[in-house]
């Protein structure tokens, strides 16, 4: 059955629909309850970091390398050894780092909030005083980024992604509007596309001339060391490029150990220019007396340095590689040649971006749901939840065990075919 | 020398000044470097909680009582057993609790930010759209509260405290202004006065009729179990009173384990009505996928229940009681009867509020600083850092060891006398 479905006659399609429906009903009878909706690490991945919990105990010296007692108040920018660890990760200097709590999303939300109410720094007006400000959103993208922008009433403009990153011709056109205040990027193993921005895209992001002086690139490097393949993608250092281009304040970069150690109890960080760091620390000086320094200490003593993190990430890769491979294999077996779906096995990250026939994504997700498999809602990877072509589905393969994943993927392939046949019959 | 200084003649004052100056110069020669500026627990207090670090290790079951893996994403309101622990502490139901990260200040900042940009809930306009909004600030009060309000441009109105809490006649008058959106309280062992609000004050706060429908009482119960004496103050449950009075949404209450376990790595919480909890969780759903659940688990397994916390707090009391007593004894020996200072030994909390002769607080703090003892800046306990009478100094006795504290307090008493003599000579 490697024939393109659209070449089938109406009669053949009806026959195919009956066959697929029967198969689908058999799935429904199984009372499945599987979840491929969110990019959560599996239990086996969480088990990798259990020794982190042994790092500190009642006999531990809890002082940082400056002699500060990490149990007590203070040190809002983070303890020096933890700033140094993240500096290695971001390829910047320790003074460009602020260590946060357990959530980089929280750091990003708070940063957008700060820009709205107080501006990017003391030299610039709050965004909320400047009119209806806008953000560029490479699509498909991460639903939680879009949700933060929507919460603050920031208008979102779709910018299509290709295999090199966002369409830079369009970006360079759109930034002529001084109300366009930023662009929200996942530059390595993008969520959900798995795309890593090319060197040229990174250089153009650094070299472009936004009309807004207070333009910011929200650079969510969530998957910076999250490899799957043995041939990792390489991402150019945006900050270094911006320094060269004379716009060091443009990027504000984020990462966390959520998918390195524990999503519930990791450490997050910001990397940015001295000016941005100062503006953020100024706001934080009102907001908190400091983040959890014992958890900073735990992480830095556990990993020691970037090599320690990378060695640890290889263990994650070993666990999730078979899951990505299983999804890819089943999709290939079930769908290749049918002309109704495309996807790409990424070199890293947490997702497979799966495109079905235009107008079918919602139907596929609904069919899966009805049969007991929860996927991320169709449209979620677009601002306002609106996928203009109703084509994109985000697959998150990490959480379920392989056998569940296989069942869920087979069902997904089946629903993809069923929805396509339905659509083709409508159009026939 | 138990004679009131103001009864001395100019000549006697000059003689006294010379004597005190000589004594002061002897202190300066000692090159002291002591800090009584912030309410930080001492090292001995931090050592009390070291077993907390043993609660979780590589063999631990990290699931909460609902079977959620605390290492993974999710559970933004906090794990059920931790909500229950804080519910006991706040005397509310678990569904009235949201567990936060390590900082209740952060929860308060974020709440004020939410009220400014989005309103107290979906039914009310953002405060920032309603004009120049105002807050009532019982004084003396906590500088970080005032700083949050100032950061968001909220106008602060002083309300004097007496031994029962804020002047409620004045409060009831001021809330007739619909732009007055709240009052910021530390209701038990107030910072810095050590005052616990009387039952009548709590009842009047619940019964009063603010013109603003979206009026909120910021109830920072930072010292709810932080006793020093064996006869603790009792605080009436504001939430229960507000429910009775038909205004359950009025109070938003905050606490943390910062001064129970570790300031750097504790757990914070909000207690509020279902409507407020829903509005706060709605905002948090954009801000984070959840706070540090492993630290919640650590705390709840360590303490088990409120009795566990109270037993632990007795150990703190045993360590800080001698410090408060030492300060009180030295101040009494050096200053009683002179008519130039008053203070009160509180039954709990972290501070002694020390009032010097009007117009002398800044001078006293500067003299201490010059001799190597750092106190909280004079005026810090008032909005905008402006103590109208320049009289209040906050003493934070917990951090320094007793012998340092004794030295610092002797110097403080000396500087209080010196500044008073200077002031009396000016007026002579």
Per-residue pLDDT of chain A (428 residues; tens, 9 = 90+): 468 999 999 999 999 999 999 999 999 999 999 988 889 999 999 999 999 999 999 999 999 999 999 999 999 999 999 999 999 999 999 999 999 999 999 999 999 999 999 999 999 999 999 999 999 999 999 999 999 999 999 999 999 999 999 999 999 999 999 999 999 999 999 999 999 999 999 999 999 999 999 999 999 999 999 999 999 999 999 999 999 999 999 999 999 999 999 999 999 999 999 999 999 999 999 999 999 999 999 999 999 999 999 999 999 999 999 999 999 999 999 999 999 999 999 999 999 999 999 999 999 999 999 999 999 999 999 999 999 999 999 999 999 999 999 999 999 999 999 999 999 999 87
Mean pLDDT of B374-384: 96
Mean pLDDT of B226-254: 97
Closest CA to B47 of A63, A333, A247: A63
C-alpha–C-alpha distance, residues A244 and A238, integer Å: 10
What is the residue-wise DSSP string for B216-246?
EEEEE-TTTT-B-SSS------HHHHHHHTT
Using CB atoms, pick whichever of A103, A151, A292 lies closest to residue B289. A103
N residues, chain A: 428
C-alpha–C-alpha distance, residues A291 and A77, integer Å: 8
pLDDT at B38: 86
- Interface size, chain A vs chain B, as Cβ–Cβ contacts under 8 Å: 160
Strand locations in B103-224, DSSP E?
134-139, 155-162, 165-166, 180-185, 216-220
Q: Which of residues 83-102 of B touch A (CB under 8 A)?
A: 101-102
B327, B353 Cβ separation under 8 angstroms: no
| Helix/strand/coil for A132 | coil
pLDDT at B428: 79
Q: A5-24 burial string, b = 16+ CB within 10 Å, else e?
A: beebeeeebeebbeebeeeb
Best B286, B301, B399 residue to mutate vs chain A (most A CBs within 10 Å)? B286
The residues near A252 (Cβ < 8 Å, ≥ 6 apart) are A111, A216, A217, A218, A219, A270, A271, A272, A276
Chain B residues with CB under 8 Å of A102 CB are: 101, 291-292
Using CB atoms, pick whichever of B54, B152, B264 lies closest to residue A294. B264
pLDDT at B3: 83
Residue B274 has pLDDT above 50, yes or no: yes
Q: Which of residues 191-230 of A touch B (CB under 8 A)?
A: none
Chain A residues with CB under 8 Å of B154 CB are: none
Best A35, A40, A45, A71 residue to mutate vs chain B (most B CBs within 10 Å)? A71
A336-to-A3, A5, A13, A182 alpha-carbon distances in Å: 9, 11, 18, 38
Closest CA to A73 of A290, A250, A308: A290
Strand locations in A216-267, DSSP E?
216-220, 251-256
Chain B residues with CB under 8 Å of A118 CB are: 151
Q: Does any CB of chain B come closer than 8 Å to the CB of residue A148? A: yes
Best B39, B42, B49, B53 residue to mutate vs chain A (most A CBs within 10 Å)? B53
| Helix/strand/coil for A302 | helix
Q: Does any CB of chain B come closer than 8 Å to the CB of residue A119? A: no
A159, A173 Cβ separation under 8 angstroms: no
Chain B residues with CB under 8 Å of A103 CB are: 288-291
Q: What is the interface pTM, i.e. ipTM, of the complex?
A: 0.97
pLDDT at A297: 98
Contact B73 A288 (CB under 8 A): no
Burial label for B126, CB within 10 Å (0-12, 13-18, 19+), is middle
Instruction: Please report which confidence band the pLDDT of residue B2 belongs to, taking 50, 70 and 90 as the band edges.
Output: low
The residues near A404 (Cβ < 8 Å, ≥ 6 apart) are A34
pLDDT at A109: 98
The residues near A374 (Cβ < 8 Å, ≥ 6 apart) are A34, A35, A36, A37, A368
Residue B88 has pLDDT above 90, yes or no: yes
pLDDT at B1: 47
Model confidence, pTM = 0.97
What 8-state DSSP symbol labels residue B71?
A: T
B418-to-A326, B26, B368, B386, B406 alpha-carbon distances in Å: 81, 14, 11, 23, 18
Q: Does any CB of chain B come closer than 8 Å to the CB of residue A46? A: yes
Mean pLDDT of B347-362: 98
State which residue of chain B sits closest to A109, comparing Cα positions.
B287
Chain B residues with CB under 8 Å of A70 CB are: 264-265
Which contiguous run of DSSP H or E holds residue A36? strand A34-36
């Amino acid at each position: 059955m490697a024939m393109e479905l659209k070449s089938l006659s109406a009669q053949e399609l009806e026959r195919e629909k009956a066959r697929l429906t029967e198969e689908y009903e058999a799935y429904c009878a199984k009372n499945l309850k599987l979840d491929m909706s969110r990019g959560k690490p599996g239990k086996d991945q969480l088990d990798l970091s259990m020794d982190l919990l042994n790092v500190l105990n009642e006999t531990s010296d809890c002082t940082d390398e400056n002699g500060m007692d990490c149990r007590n108040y203070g040190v809002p920018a983070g303890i020096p050894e933890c700033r140094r660890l993240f500096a290695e990760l971001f390829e910047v200097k320790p003074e460009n780092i602020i260590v946060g709590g357990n959530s980089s999303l929280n750091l990003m939300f708070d940063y957008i909030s700060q820009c709205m109410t107080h501006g990017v720094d003391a030299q610039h007006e709050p965004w909320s005083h400047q009119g209806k400000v806008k953000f560029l959103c490479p699509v498909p993208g991460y639903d939680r980024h879009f949700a933060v922008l929507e919460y603050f009433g920031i208008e979102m403009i779709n910018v299509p992604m290709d295999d090199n990153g966002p369409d830079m011709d369009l970006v360079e056109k759109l930034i002529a509007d001084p109300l366009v205040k930023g662009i929200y990027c996942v530059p390595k193993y993008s969520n959900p596309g798995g795309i890593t921005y090319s060197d040229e895209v990174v250089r153009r992001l650094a070299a472009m001339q936004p009309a807004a002086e207070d333009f910011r690139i929200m650079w969510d490097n969530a998957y910076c060391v999250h490899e799957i393949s043995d041939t990792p993608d390489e991402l150019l250092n945006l900050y270094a490029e911006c320094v060269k281009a004379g716009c060091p304040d443009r990027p504000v970069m984020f990462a966390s150990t959520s998918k390195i150690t524990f999503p519930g109890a990791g450490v997050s960080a910001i990397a940015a220019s001295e000016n941005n760091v100062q503006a953020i620390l100024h706001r934080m000086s009102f907001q908190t007396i400091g983040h959890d320094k014992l958890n900073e200490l735990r992480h830095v003593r556990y990993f020691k340095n970037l090599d320690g993190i990378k060695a640890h990430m290889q263990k994650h890769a070993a666990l999730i590689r078979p899951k990505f491979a299983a999804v890819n294999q089943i999709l290939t077996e079930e769908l290749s040649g049918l002309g109704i779906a495309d996807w790409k096995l990424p070199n890293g990250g947490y997702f497979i971006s799966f495109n079905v026939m235009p107008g079918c994504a919602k139907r596929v997700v609904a069919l899966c749901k009805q049969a007991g498999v929860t996927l991320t809602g169709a449209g979620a990877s677009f601002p306002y939840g609106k996928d203009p072509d109703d084509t994109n589905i985000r697959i998150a393969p990490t959480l379920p065990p392989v056998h569940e994943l296989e069942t869920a993927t087979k069902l997904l392939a089946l629903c993809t075919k069923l929805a396509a046949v339905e659509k083709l019959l409508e159009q026939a």
